[in-house]
Chain A
Amino acid sequence: MESEARSPLQHKTRDRVLTLLSVGALFAFLWYADHHFSPYSIRILNNIAIFIILAVSYNLINGVTGQFSLEPNAFVAVGAYTSALLTLSPEEKIRSFIIEPIVWPLSEISVSFPVSLLCAGLLTALMALLMSIPVFRVRGDYLAIVTLGFGEVIQVVANNLVSITNGPLGLKGLHPHTTLWWSWGFCVLTVFSVVRLVRSSYGRAMQAVREDETAAQAMGINAFRTKTLAFTFSAFFEGVAGGLLAHLITTISPSLFTFFLTFHLLIIIVVGGLGSTTGVVVAAALFTWGGEFLRIVEEPTTIFGYYYEGIPGMRMVILSLLLIVVMLFARRGLMGGKEFSWQALIDWTGRLIALAKRCV
């Protein structure tokens, strides 16, 4: 009863305070994890953050704007290579490039990690911008093929442009710059920016384009510009996530950025509920954590006394079946396009407490 009496402005302040407090709690947890957790758990935490960044930004173009694209593996590759090439010192580059020496300007440049992440994001965003000009001239379906093709081309280029990418050997010995602070810092920044964008008038335009492009244009929305904005924006964060990933695993090669990565993200955003940032965050965390779990089906184990040999490839069969089943029977996903809000949580807790009281 009391909450209804308050003005919307007070709600806004309350929500802000609660958000700040929970972000603070998250970082307190990270501080604790940083000091007490095993390297394996920290690695998983880092992975979760990176996958949240990737999934949330991928969801912006696929879920919120409704333009089906298949680019994350390509953009992550661009971001990873860019930031890796920028942070390696000139001596390290000379040592790694054994087939062909690295081209001139890159051989001299060496910048700090944050600058390299920024460059990775900007370069990826630029590529997205250039790509959207041919792609959005025609209907959205072509985006899928062009981005899929772009992923193949990135593989081809990474394998063949030896004087920049070191070819199939990849780049080794990157510094493990990606700490919990960097990954979760960018994760919070990404979620915050995407949520703000979706709630802004630009975000509403994106949703309008998703629901009915013709009607949106009739209302004066420039569909081309809206799609381009969503695509470029999501590309920026995918590039940054690529840089974070590169400095987490410290070795990158072309085979790391295959279509499997995109497929994984596709399942995450579908299960989370296309268009729902909250659902996607939850799904990304669940999948990254549970993905380790699913490895069991591919390894020999003994379940209830039965020896099970483990079938390689079974994990992907399960995941693709899951994708199809969710699309056919539960298209709304975990959150069904709804978003988290403090008000909903408070109402829900209130109902839960009332229920508990009645039971007692």
Chain B
Amino acid sequence: MDISFATQQLVFGFTLGCFYGLIAIGYTMVYGVLRLINFAHGDLLMVSAYFAFFGIIIFELPWQISFLLAVALTGVLGILIDRGAYRPLRHSPRISALITAIGISFLLENLALVIVGGRPKSFPLPSLFGGVIKIAGVTIPVLSVWVFFITALLLAAVMYIVRRTRVGMAMRALSLDMETVGLMGVDANRVISFTFVLGSVLAAAGGMMWSMKYPAVEPFMGVLPGLKAFVAAVLGGIGNVAGAALGGFILGVAEILIVAVKPEWSGYRDAIAFCILIVILLTRPRGIMGEELPD
């Protein structure tokens, strides 16, 4: 394997890692606060892609506006899901909320199937994100550069919110003890709604980026990225935002490199994340950057 091939694969791995990281940040935030695996996270990604798609194709809006609208609408959908499905179950056994989350995930997928049909639709690629840059024999898609910067920007923003703002302080407190935080005069439901908005916005950003990379949208496109992003979140330490991004990077690079080194394993690519998950659970259940898991 020569240097330029290796670098090329690393570029691809980095790009994929950014995607996983971006989706994992939202996943880990919601889990961190609510201790709920939000199975619908991957499907919010799909919904946002459809919103953007319809904005551009059907309503013929400029892509900037339809992207922003898609992000906003997905955020609203995030709140609605929390209000309608998760909030009534806040004080019931955890298993109830988990089952409802699966129900929401299936509902979103199949509603999309009923409304738009199962045929994949090609996603328009704005010229700003198209094209490639060539440096010393290595091809870097412009989209990869954008994804990297957007992921970095959003990660910085989320870390700022969680660590430096009042609502972030409330989020961290909620993850430790919901009842006590309520007693301190914090409106837990508002903070949780905010968490969902933030998570959904991140999923929306990931969704539109993802559909520009694999320029097609279909109802089940969010399932596998969602599952892998959760693994990335566990790898980085669940509940830890920076850890999620790091876990995403590692997972993306590992997937691409293993297939690059052993092309005959390419069929097993989707199983790599699972193997990584088992290894983490066996060796270091709290992940790379995670603290000891409170129970």
Which residues of A are interface residues toward B (Cβ below 8 A)? 62, 66, 68, 70, 133-135, 137-142, 144-146, 148-150, 152-153, 156-157, 159-160, 214, 263, 266, 270, 274, 311-314, 316-317, 319-321, 323-324, 327-328, 331
Contact = CB atoms under 8 A, between A and B. Distances in A.
B268 to A, nearest CB: 6
Contacts of A263: 102, 106
Given A68-B98, A153-B270, A156-B270, 6 more contacts: A145-B234, A152-B227, A156-B271, A316-B106, A316-B113, A328-B89
B285 interface: yes
B282 A145 contact: no
Contacts of A159: 267
A317 B95 contact: no
B14 to A, nearest CB: 24
Contacts of B165: none
A308 to B, nearest CB: 14
Given A148-B227, A313-B110, A324 B103 contact: yes
Nearest to B228: A149
A266 B102 CA distance: 9
Interface string B85-114: 100110011111011101110110111011
A135 B89 CA distance: 25
Interface residues of B, number: 42
A266 B35 contact: no
Chain A interface helix/strand/loop/mixed: helix
A160 B268 CA distance: 7
A282 to B, nearest CB: 19
B224 interface: yes
Nearest to B267: A160
Interface stretch (B47-55, B146-154, B273-281): B273-281
A324 B88 CA distance: 11
B95 A68 contact: yes
B103 A327 contact: yes
A146 B111 contact: no
A170 to B, nearest CB: 16
Contacts of B109: 316
B92 A139 contact: no
Contact of A145 (B107, B227, B293): B227
A274 B281 contact: no
B44 to A, nearest CB: 15
A138 B89 CA distance: 23
B295 A156 contact: no
B96 A135 contact: no
Most B C-beta atoms less than 10 A away, residue of A70, A270, A311, A327:
A327
A328 B293 CA distance: 29
Contacts of B35: 141
Contacts of A324: 85, 100, 103-104, 107
B249 to A, nearest CB: 20
B103 A137 contact: no
A134 B103 contact: no
B231 interface: yes
B89 A134 contact: no
B37 interface: yes
The 9 closest A-B pairs by CB, nearest first: A160-B267, A313-B113, A134-B281, A320-B106, A323-B103, A316-B110, A320-B107, A324-B103, A149-B274
B107 A317 contact: yes
Contacts of A140: 94
Contacts of A328: 85, 88-89, 100
Contacts of A312: 113-114, 118
B12 interface: no
A152 B102 contact: no
A145 B277 contact: yes
A327 B224 CA distance: 25
B271 to A, nearest CB: 5
B277 A323 contact: no
A128 B92 CA distance: 28
